[in-house]
Structure 1
Amino acid sequence: MDFHIDLFPGLGSIEPIWLILAFVIVGALALLSFAVEEIRNAISYIVRPFILPVIAVSCLLWLMNK
């Protein structure tokens, strides 16, 4: 059984498996983008409290060795 979907009349048809595959790929890319953003937010949330103390200690050590 040969089944095609006419997405745009006059421009040809598409096999349903390619349409499903396109939706799966786009969905996977969207989830990956969301996951990357969440990982970046988590790293920022964990690292942010340590930035100022590290800068302060570095400045103090620099001043003590000057």
Structure 2
Amino acid sequence: MHPETHLALHHTRAADLRAEADAHRLAAAVGQPYDFRTRLGWTLVEVGLRLASTRPALAH
């Protein structure tokens, strides 16, 4: 591969990676709704598991 072509591809890939890293940083900074949704989701899973579990029979 020609060195200039390789360099151009490298610059393009580096710019893509920088943009992806910036997007990830922004998403992590706004993380509040994701944290709430995660906690809510796990709470619903726990409630569902409790409702679905069978209760032990009482001994007479």
TM-score calculated relative to the size of structure 2:
0.50
Q: Which one has the largest radius of gyration?
A: 1
2:7 corresponds, among 27, 42, 47, to 27
1:13-45 deviations in Å (ceiling 9; x for gaps): xxxxxxxx8121101011011111100110001
Name structure 2 gaps, 5 residues minimum.
44-60
Name structure 1 gaps, 5 residues minimum.
1-20
CA distance in 1 between counterparts of 2:24 and 2:10 reads 21
- Name 1:54's counterpart in structure 2: 34
CA distance in 1 between counterparts of 2:38 and 2:15 reads 34
What RMSD in Å do the two structures reach over aligned CA positions? 2.7
Identity of aligned residues (%): 12
User: How many residues are treated as equivalent by the alignment?
Assistant: 46
By relative contact order (CA 8 Å, sep 6+), the higher-ranking structure is 1
Normalized per residue, the structure richer in helix is 2
